[in-house]
Structure 1
Amino acid sequence: MAESLLLPVVRGVVGKAADALVQSITRMWGVDKDRLKLERHLVYVQSLLADAEAKSETNHAVRTWMKELKAAAYQADDVLDDFQYEALRREALSGQSMASKILSNFTSKNRLVFRHKASRDLKNVLEKIDELVTEMTKFGLVALPEAPPQALPRQTHSALDESMEIFGREGDKDGVVELLLDQQDQQDVQVLPILGMGGVGKTTLAKMVYNNDKIQKHFELRMWHCVSENFEAIPLVRSVIELATNSTCGLPDTIELLRGKLQEAIGRKRFLLILDDVWNEDQNKWEDDLRPLLCSSIGGSGSTIVVTSRSRQVASIMGTLPPHELVCLSEDDSWELFSKKAFSKGVQEQAKFVKIGRCISNKCKGLPLALKTMGGLMSSKQQIEEWEAIADCNISDTNRGKDEVLPILKLSYKHLSPEMKQCFAFCSLFPKDYEMEKDMLIQLWMANGYLHEEGTMDLTQKGEYIFNELAWRSFFQDVILFPASLEEIWIDNNRSLVALPSNLGDLTKLRRLSVRWCVALKALPDGMDGLTSLELLTIGDCPGIEKFPQGLLHRLPALEYLSIYGCPDLQRRCREGGEYFDLTASIRDKYIEAIHKGHVRKWFLPSCGGGSQGN
């Protein structure tokens, strides 16, 4: 993975070499030709790095060359820092008084020595990069577009192996089944995303739901389509027609003809469509092309599309229902799955094997794919020494880990931009299970030069964008972000919730928000004034919430109902005489409890701001 981080490093050095401050000093010191040659070399190398990265996976010589180039690029970065420092020093000195300048000349160490060293270092690093560019010609590298590599072609099917025991997913299956059955009165086609990292079991859960007896009886028509990278309207609609009719569709690739055939094939039947392994993050492809075809003109009441994806952005674009997020297995379920595979071919479940086996199981971190792969590997190991050797290494160090687990997980990584890869790799500096604070992480990215301004986006905004992208793609655990299409959010009895998602204010379609019994929640997030459609707001038994974000109540034009209880400080501010009392006068219906003589009583604020009434 380290080699794939070379592109943003080289890009950063190229930017620094072209910096006007650096150029001003290299011209002054007579080494601008060296600086320009370094810049040209690195620009040329940069254009070939996409191909180099692809070849490095199978070519050890290319991988070694990339490591040496990375070291040289960091060395060049340090050298250019010296020139940049000198330019800034001179700029700062120009604003000082004459006395300060004289004092600076007496107190600073010999600037000639510094100048000589910086110039010599530039020549040395240029010689090293010259050698690497010459060596590079042996590899036959070509310029490739910097677009992320495409995911490997993949096909899934709906068949569920009845002989295969599935651990830890009954609750997920029951929850999804119940949710699908509850949509029976919905006239519009609903879309339910199933989210999770690669190998966590999204497809398996979808199969469990698809083959459930209640689901089979409830839906007149069930269809399964593996999307993978091909999210184009024509092939997808053609596939749905063929699945609905159980026959080949011979129509030409004309979307209007296919639309008519789709309506004829499905009509008003209540259908379930599984779209497995969706990667598309182009909102227009869904909103403009596929959504009108699949969700607007076909299907009876209760029809539902289930989408499996690793990307929260996919869920945000397509989902009409809150996503069902699939998490890793518990320690007990992990052991059940691992031991079922490991002790299936003659290896005896003896105490010494169990102890080491639990260690290996724990290393899989609850990921079903890794548990099945490693359990299958251990089933062929009869000697305790073999188990101990595997327990002492990483999963990625085993042949099965390399061949079966890493390719699945690596797909998500390959879809990141070079800048995102570098920011994500930086997170490896933190200990395992470390709780990272978002704003601090973004500042660290900025301090290390990983972020670059883009258009009107400043560094902080760029950091926010990258953090949210990594969260959307499930690279961070336990980061809550809501899909933009949500209309209702009800959060109840979450005693570990300390903050609401940072993108709450982006939910312009949200009409109802209820947060209750979240005792660890300390504040409502800034930006909630973006909830322009919010009609109902309930905050109950969240004693840590003391006030609304600045000016919030001024900026919720659709708010009609406000309910607050179990939040003493917030209640005081909303009572008569409190700072929010006048602001709540225009809200049609209010239900607020007040603290009175040590106990709680209900307090109603009439719509017209008249007298209060307690009971």
Structure 2
Amino acid sequence: MAEALVSVVLEQLVSLTRKQIEEEVRLVVNVEREVENLIFHFNAIQAVLQDAEERQVKEKSVRTWLQNLEDVSYDINEVLDEWNTEILKHQIEKEEEKEGKNVALTKRKVCFFIPSPSVCFGSIGKVIMRRDIAMRIKEINEKLTEIANLREKYNFHENTIRATEKLEHVETCSFVQVSSIIGREEEKNRLMSMLLSESSQQGKSPFVVIPIVGMGGLGKTAFAQLVYNDENIKTHFDTRIWVCVSDPFEEIKIAKAIVEVLNKGDGRIHSTSLQPLLECINEYISGKKFVLVLDDVWNPTISNWEPLMGALQNSAIGSRILVTTRKETVATVMGATVDHVIHLNILSDQGCLQLFNKIAFFNRERDDQLEDIGRKIVKKCNGLPLAAKTLASLMRYKKTRKEWVDVLDNKIWELEEVEQQVFRSLFLSYYELSPAVRRCLLYCAVFPKDYEFERNQLIECWMSQEYLNMKVSHQK
């Protein structure tokens, strides 16, 4: 949120400064140094905002620092709107004077007469307004200076450096408790059919890439684990390999993980270069029918995917690469065809309730009253398995009806357990967005829950807030 706000404010500051120069008049006087300081501090803060926004999930003090920054950003945004209005008024007055409308302009002014001298009330109002803007800019600059100085305390990393304490991508493995997966029978049957068929990718490659695509929290990894551990898969393929890829897409790390399964004793596994590892893969995969799961793939490029794909070309026809990802573009980069993409959707209400009850009432007697409350809690999960599992785990230790009602009446997403488990997963997708797109997404929070808005109207709202002013946004 703060990153999007700071981008807006910086754009406005630079724009207004340029307008004042173009107008060749200082409507708001004695603030040049203050504006320079604002731009300097906002630029310095902007350089560390990515790290700060990622760390706020874990660190309350960082969250408070960002909240103070947001407050100041809103304050300066409001002042800049007023300043911009004064510039527009000045431009209109100049145009009217040029067109010889001085008389009409004078008639529209409301004058306040006193015995001596007579002064136009409109002119006094303008002076007071512009002085007020200058004073408020100075006050805001003092607050921002304090916030900017505090950033040193947190030792933030600049955006050009990947933070070591960034929001973690959880390391996954191939093992799963099969009985904990509910409501994916139809998708499993379709995926099993794709995996067990003997086809290749239109004769171009001995293997087929099958992406499982869906938003965070839908259970893509659990679904892949379910299929990976199916007895039919174990007997059908010569070799099964599971690799947690995560972000970034590191070819050497992935290649080493594959070699560890194919031949852990090969000395080339310790190589820090990609070529020996790829040679090892190509050698040991020769003639084998494999299934390779690449879990949690984010941002591969064609250039870092193709070498791995090339090393696997020696495999037997019928091999499969199963990819879990949140991004449709990953499927394209990795060469998947449209008919081989599995889109994982939210669970049905019944499936979500079944999952919730299985965990919430584990090793305890079912209670009709609590089940009724649980049904209402589950509706707030909107079919998201991760939310249902998180809340069910919380409810497992709540024994009384009052405790269950307290959770039901609470703002579900403010519960610490939900914030830590569900939001952390969803934030990974949020932080992948550019500041401009985040800004547009966050604007949608002004609409009430379940509000149905029309696309073009929403775009016009973004335009009215000058969210689409950037060149890149215009092109899109």
**TM-score normalised to structure 2 length:** 0.85
Q: 2:294 and 2:58 mapped to 1: Cα distance? A: 33
| 198-207 or 43-52, larger mean C-alpha shift | 43-52
Per the TM alignment, residue 313 of structure 1 is displaced from its structure 2 partner at its CA by 1.8
Q: 2:48 and 2:437 mapped to 1: Cα distance? A: 19
Deviations 1:319-364 (A, max 9, x none): 4232211111100111111111111132x32221111010111111
Q: 1:231 and 1:47 mapped to 2: Cα distance? A: 24
Out of 229, 235, 245, which is 2:263 matched to? 245
Q: 2:62 and 2:315 mapped to 1: Cα distance? A: 54
The one-letter amino acid paired with 2:211 is P
Partner of 1:265: 284
The 3 A distance-change label for structure 1 pair 23 and 249 is farther
Deviations 1:212-270 (A, max 9, x none): 23323332222111111242222222221221235455353333332322121001222
Q: 2:60 and 2:254 mapped to 1: Cα distance? A: 40
Q: 1:14 and 1:310 mapped to 2: Cα distance? A: 36
Partner of 1:255: 274
Q: 1:101 and 1:117 mapped to 2: Cα distance? A: 23
Contact 1:237–1:258 (8 Å) recurs in 2: yes
The one-letter amino acid paired with 2:220 is K
Q: 1:185 and 1:130 mapped to 2: Cα distance? A: 66
Contact 1:5–1:422 (8 Å) recurs in 2: yes
Partner of 2:70: 70
| 418-427 or 16-25, larger mean C-alpha shift | 16-25
Q: 1:119 and 1:22 mapped to 2: Cα distance? A: 19
Q: 1:10 and 1:281 mapped to 2: Cα distance? A: 33
Deviations 1:148-179 (A, max 9, x none): 865514322222324x3421011111110112
Alignment of 1:3-152 (within 5 A): 3=2, 5-21=4-20, 24=23, 27=26, 30-33=29-32, 34-50=34-50, 52-53=52-53, 56-57=56-57, 60=60, 62-96=62-96, 98-108=99-109, 110-134=122-146, 136-139=148-151, 140-141=153-154, 144-146=157-159, 151-152=167-168
Residue 225 (str. 1) matches residue 225 (str. 2): no
The 3 A distance-change label for structure 1 pair 43 and 136 is closer
The one-letter amino acid paired with 2:158 is P
Deviations 1:479-503 (A, max 9, x none): xxxxxxxxxxxxxxxxxxxxxxxxx
Q: 1:376 and 1:119 mapped to 2: Cα distance? A: 58
Task: Give the secondary structure class of the aligned counterpart of 1:253.
Answer: coil
Q: 2:40 and 2:16 mapped to 1: Cα distance? A: 10
Contact 1:16–1:22 (8 Å) recurs in 2: no
Q: 2:296 and 2:409 mapped to 1: Cα distance? A: 34
Residue 274 (str. 1) matches residue 274 (str. 2): no
CA RMSD of superposed structures (Å) = 2.8
Q: 1:262 and 1:176 mapped to 2: Cα distance? A: 26
Task: Give the secondary structure class of the aligned counterpart of 1:99.
Answer: coil
Contact 2:356–2:388 (8 Å) recurs in 1: yes
Partner of 2:190: 175
Contact 1:270–1:301 (8 Å) recurs in 2: yes
Task: Give the secondary structure class of the aligned counterpart of 1:160.
Answer: coil
Partner of 2:113: none
| 242-251 or 261-270, larger mean C-alpha shift | 242-251
Per the TM alignment, residue 309 of structure 1 is displaced from its structure 2 partner at its CA by 0.7
Q: 2:303 and 2:437 mapped to 1: Cα distance? A: 23
Alignment of 1:244-393 (within 5 A): 244-247=262-265, 249-251=267-269, 252-287=271-306, 289-294=307-312, 297-322=313-338, 323-346=341-364, 348-393=365-410
Contact 1:279–1:311 (8 Å) recurs in 2: yes
The one-letter amino acid paired with 2:189 is D
Q: 1:146 and 1:461 mapped to 2: Cα distance? A: 25
Per the TM alignment, residue 142 of structure 1 is displaced from its structure 2 partner at its CA by 5.1
Q: 1:206 and 1:411 mapped to 2: Cα distance? A: 20
Per the TM alignment, residue 434 of structure 1 is displaced from its structure 2 partner at its CA by 4.0
Residue 425 (str. 1) matches residue 476 (str. 2): no
Contact 1:151–1:411 (8 Å) recurs in 2: yes
Task: Give the secondary structure class of the aligned counterpart of 1:190.
Answer: strand
Per the TM alignment, residue 95 of structure 1 is displaced from its structure 2 partner at its CA by 4.2
Which has the larger share of helix?
Answer: 2
Unmatched tracts of structure 1, length 5 or more: 463-615
Q: 2:459 and 2:216 mapped to 1: Cα distance? A: 25
Alignment of 1:400-479 (within 5 A): 400-454=417-471, 457=472, 459-462=473-476
The one-letter amino acid paired with 2:149 is T
Per the TM alignment, residue 67 of structure 1 is displaced from its structure 2 partner at its CA by 3.1
Contact 2:173–2:244 (8 Å) recurs in 1: yes
Task: Give the secondary structure class of the aligned counterpart of 2:197.
Answer: helix
Q: 1:35 and 1:255 mapped to 2: Cα distance? A: 51
Deviations 1:538-591 (A, max 9, x none): xxxxxxxxxxxxxxxxxxxxxxxxxxxxxxxxxxxxxxxxxxxxxxxxxxxxxx
Q: 2:107 and 2:438 mapped to 1: Cα distance? A: 47
Q: 1:107 and 1:130 mapped to 2: Cα distance? A: 39
Contact 1:345–1:379 (8 Å) recurs in 2: no
Partner of 1:470: none
The 3 A distance-change label for structure 1 pair 194 and 435 is farther
Task: Give the secondary structure class of the aligned counterpart of 2:317.
Answer: coil
The one-letter amino acid paired with 1:383 is T
Q: 2:226 and 2:90 mapped to 1: Cα distance? A: 69
Q: 2:5 and 2:310 mapped to 1: Cα distance? A: 43
Task: Give the secondary structure class of the aligned counterpart of 1:366.
Answer: coil
The 3 A distance-change label for structure 1 pair 370 and 65 is closer
Partner of 2:114: none
Q: 2:466 and 2:356 mapped to 1: Cα distance? A: 43
Task: Give the secondary structure class of the aligned counterpart of 1:184.
Answer: coil
Q: 1:113 and 1:363 mapped to 2: Cα distance? A: 52
The one-letter amino acid paired with 1:88 is L
Contact 1:198–1:408 (8 Å) recurs in 2: yes
Residue 236 (str. 1) matches residue 254 (str. 2): yes
The 3 A distance-change label for structure 1 pair 67 and 130 is same
Contact 1:8–1:450 (8 Å) recurs in 2: no
Q: 2:243 and 2:55 mapped to 1: Cα distance? A: 33
Contact 2:173–2:242 (8 Å) recurs in 1: yes
The one-letter amino acid paired with 1:39 is I
Q: 2:249 and 2:213 mapped to 1: Cα distance? A: 18
Q: 2:295 and 2:381 mapped to 1: Cα distance? A: 24
Aligned residues: 453
Alignment of 1:534-613 (within 5 A): none
Per the TM alignment, residue 366 of structure 1 is displaced from its structure 2 partner at its CA by 1.3
Contact 2:31–2:138 (8 Å) recurs in 1: no
The one-letter amino acid paired with 1:238 is K
Q: Taking every aligned residue pair, what percent have the same amino acid on both sides? A: 31
